[in-house]
Chain A
Amino acid sequence: GAVVSQHPSWVICKSGTSVKIECRSLDFQATTMFWYRQFPKQSLMLMATSNEGSKATYEQGVEKDKFLINHASLTLSTLTVTSAHPEDSSFYICSARTSGLNSGANVLTFGAGSRLTVL
């Protein structure tokens, strides 16, 4: 089946630095990818919708200047956490629609996630 690959799976950085997370669709093209954030024991919260060749659409309350999203090709979307601070420490997960497209179900396949720890 369709696979979404995410890298790195784990990253530690110092406060004030920037971190880039990559999300790739393997063996399929994803014109749209989604970035989620998950805190411990909480559900997935959609941060933004990444659109190939155009600007990302951010959810209310998500700082677009802090969480930069680039979707330069049909198989790659990147999330850059700029000037990271400890409160940005979280589990970031990307996803793409891989089935149910015709029916409108919009079933998502997720990457394995990236755990960011900001010291």
Chain B
Amino acid sequence: QKEVEQDPGPLSVPEGAIVSLNCTYSNSAFQYFMWYRQYSRKGPELLMYTYSSGNKEDGRFTAQVDKSSKYISLFIRDSQPSDSATYLCAMNYGGTTNKLIFGTGTLLAVQP
């Protein structure tokens, strides 16, 4: 079993739709949870990061963490064609030396 599981998609939605992207994980020691967006042939860029359980909102993006279920989500409201990209979840234990563990990424296509 992989430490972090993410549905690779592709996920196709019409413009304006609410998008829900999810990851599950197996290690309860993870404390920090991040979402990165990666456009084709580019490096990932950080969207949001959260600590432990709870919600965090930034504009059209909302990140949720449910540690009891080992489940994290990213919601995109009023999706735009420019949101079309691969979304990667990532997480780590915290501390200065530990590494990020990434999901495989979900390819999202927002149709105009």
Interface residues of A (CB under 8 A from B): 4, 6, 34, 41-44, 46, 49, 91, 93, 95, 100-101, 103-113, 115
Residues of B81-106 contacting chain A, CB below 8 A: 88, 92, 94-96, 98-100, 102-105
6 contacts between A and B (CB under 8 A): A34-B99, A43-B103, A49-B99, A105-B92, A105-B94, A107-B32
Partner pick for B32 among A6, A41, A43, A100, CB 8 A cutoff: A100
13 new A-B pairs (CB below 8 Å) besides A108-B46, A113-B43?
A43-B6, A43-B102, A44-B102, A91-B41, A93-B43, A103-B51, A105-B32, A106-B92, A107-B46, A107-B49, A110-B36, A111-B43, A113-B42
Chain B residues within an 8 Å CB radius of A111: 43
Partner of B41, one of A43, A100, A108, A113: A113
Q: Inside 8 A of B34's CB, which chain A residues have their CB?
A: 105, 107
Q: In the complex, which residue of chain A has the Cβ closest to the Cβ of B107?
A: A41
- Chain A residues with CB below 8 A from B57, complex form: none
Q: A34-B99, A100-B32, A113-B41 are in contact. Are A105 and B51 (CB under 8 A)?
A: yes
